[in-house]
Structure 1
Amino acid sequence: MTSAQPSSLDIDARYACARSLALEAARMGLDFYRQRDALTVEHKGDDLQDVVSIADKQIEAFIRERLTEHFPDDGFLGEESGSADLGARCVWVIDPIDGTACFVNGLHNWCVSIGLLIDGEPHLGAIADPNHDELFHGCLGKGAFVNDVPLKVSAATHVGQGVTATGTFHPRGKEHFIPFMEKLLAEGGMFFRNGSGALMTAYVAAGRLLGYYETELKSWDCMAGLVLVKEAGGRVNDFFRNDGLLRGNPYLVACPGVYPQLAAMIGPSLDD
């Protein structure tokens, strides 16, 4: 990493590119979605729930090609095609279709997520949901928005005042899920899951959800959304510890009034 400041980079150009590219990729995704019965779908390893389609691969290739064309010195990390130049100052972190299981099964809970790290910190992001005509986007110091409407996290101070997103996945951490759910329900909380970590994170930033806890999340599922939550006044856990960028980690984002309560319900595993 160099010692230069982010201001020496053309952040505005990258922010504009992320927004327009997310929308274009989402339109491509919608075309695939309308013809999903003809898609080839594969399973990743032995996990029957972790699927990838031809749409994921083609859309990521499209995004990667465009970013390389406009910002050839930037690094890249994508869910499907891996990483390149992770030591660069700017590293794009991409999920071409976040919510693939929903996508291939005809559920409208999927999106395109494009995030950018600058000097190792989330700096901007764009999350395009074509099924609901919503583009969530934000840039550090410039605010966060859905389309043109500013985002603001909930003012709630207790989990009983709204809905909390939660989920788990199979690789690790699932043993913490049921204990958390029991505590959430005991406190009068309601739970929600739509199959897309990026969208659930965006909904926290929009104040639609009080918080979102996942026993393990990958960086491409949340990178764009982390910026939105911070710019909308929310709190996030230390996701990047222990090589979270490549390995993934337990994940919590929430409005300030509820974050401590959720963190206490999760316990020490949040910092594992």
Structure 2
Amino acid sequence: MEARFNAAREIARDAGRLALKHFLLRDTLKVETKGVHDLVSEADRDVEALISSQLMALFPDDGFIGEETGVKAGGMKAAGIWVVDPIDGTASFLDGIPAWCVSIAYVVGSEIEIGVIYDPNAEELFAARRGHGATLNDRPIRARRAGGFKDGRVGIGYSLRVDPRPTVTAIERLLTGGGMYVWNGSGALMLAYVAAGRLIGYYEAHINAWDCLAGIGLIREAGGWTNDFLADDGLIHGNVIAAGAPGLAEAMRHLAGLN
């Protein structure tokens, strides 16, 4: 597992450097629409191709799930599966807002063994290996201590592909509980911020595995709490995500309607 962890960190940096080159030339990119407010550019595809080719060259028996290419390589039958979002926060990326990242996770069965998120704009590499803790640029990080929503801010994610009512309800519960929310367009990055203690929680009514598995791995290794995202076939179909400081587990469950 150590070889995969080291490779994931290096490949995330390589991918981030390539993505940043595209970001600086974003006005020249070809962009397609996958759905309402759901965009993909040639940058997404180029970065995913780099990640996939490097991982498969090193670990040819592993499976691979990418946001842009879907399931390939060893597929779902492989013992371990890489789950990748080459650029999480594509809309911000294309708008020139530096709120996006590279997300790489490695899953074995129901366990997230590796989670790596790289923000090339801030040169921040968040990395976690199950049982070995979480780091930011090789320094240990921990989720913030919080006993209520007044103790910090909660990240909120949303996509127009889902019913807005659960999100509206969650925001109402948060605000009436004395809290405040943050939205930056990148669920992966906000989950990394929870692991680093910058946010006290994160909620999204439905999120895909490639957007959140690395972040979930980070939060768990940083001492935080998350719901069981991989339940009910979350790897393929996505699921609700609720995560936060260890003292906020019940409050986040209530906010997310998981009680």
Give the TM-score band, short-chain normalised. over 0.9
Q: Which residue of 1 aligns with 2:42?
A: 54
Q: Which residue of 1 aligns with 2:149?
A: 159
Question: Deviation digits for residues 212-249 of structure 1, max 9, x if unmatched?
Answer: 00011000001111111011001110111221111111
- For the residue of structure 1 that corresponds to 2:116, the secondary structure is strand
Q: 2:232 aligns with which of 236, 242, 251?
A: 242
Q: 2:131 aligns with which of 119, 123, 141?
A: 141
- TM-score when normalising by structure 1: 0.92
Instruction: Tell me if the contact between 1:89 and 1:120 (Cα under 8 Å) persists in the aligned partners.
Output: no
Q: Which residue of 2 aligns with 1:25?
A: 15
In structure 2, runs of 5+ residues without a counterpart are none
The answer to whether structure 1 residue 64 and structure 2 residue 60 are counterparts is no
Distance 1:78 1:27 in 2: 19
Instruction: Tell me if the contact between 1:201 and 1:212 (Cα under 8 Å) persists in the aligned partners.
Output: yes
Distance 1:218 1:64 in 2: 18
- TM-score when normalising by structure 2: 0.97
Percent of residue pairs identical:
44
The answer to whether structure 1 residue 213 and structure 2 residue 192 are counterparts is no
| Correspondences of 1:176-191 after superposition (within 5 Å) | 176-191=166-181
Instruction: Tell me if the contact between 2:243 and 2:252 (Cα under 8 Å) persists in the aligned partners.
Output: no
Distance 2:112 2:126 in 1: 15
Instruction: Tell me if the contact between 2:134 and 2:140 (Cα under 8 Å) persists in the aligned partners.
Output: yes
Q: CA deviation at 1:95?
A: 0.3
Q: CA deviation at 1:173?
A: 4.0
Comparing 28-37 with 165-174, which one deviates more in the overlay?
A: 165-174
Q: Which residue of 1 aligns with 2:105?
A: 115
- For the residue of structure 1 that corresponds to 2:115, the secondary structure is strand
The one-letter code matched in structure 2 to 1:19 is R
| Correspondences of 1:98-113 after superposition (within 5 Å) | 98-113=88-103
Q: 1:75 aligns with which of 43, 63, 85?
A: 63
- For the residue of structure 2 that corresponds to 1:208, the secondary structure is coil
Distance 2:117 2:193 in 1: 11
Distance 2:44 2:255 in 1: 35
- For the residue of structure 2 that corresponds to 1:33, the secondary structure is helix
Q: 2:249 aligns with which of 240, 245, 259?
A: 259
Q: CA deviation at 1:266?
A: 2.4
Comparing 251-260 with 207-216, which one deviates more in the overlay?
A: 251-260
Distance 2:63 2:132 in 1: 23
The one-letter code matched in structure 2 to 1:81 is T
The one-letter code matched in structure 1 to 2:165 is E
CA RMSD between the two structures = 1.1
Q: CA deviation at 1:174?
A: 2.2
Q: CA deviation at 1:21?
A: 0.1
In structure 1, runs of 5+ residues without a counterpart are 1-10
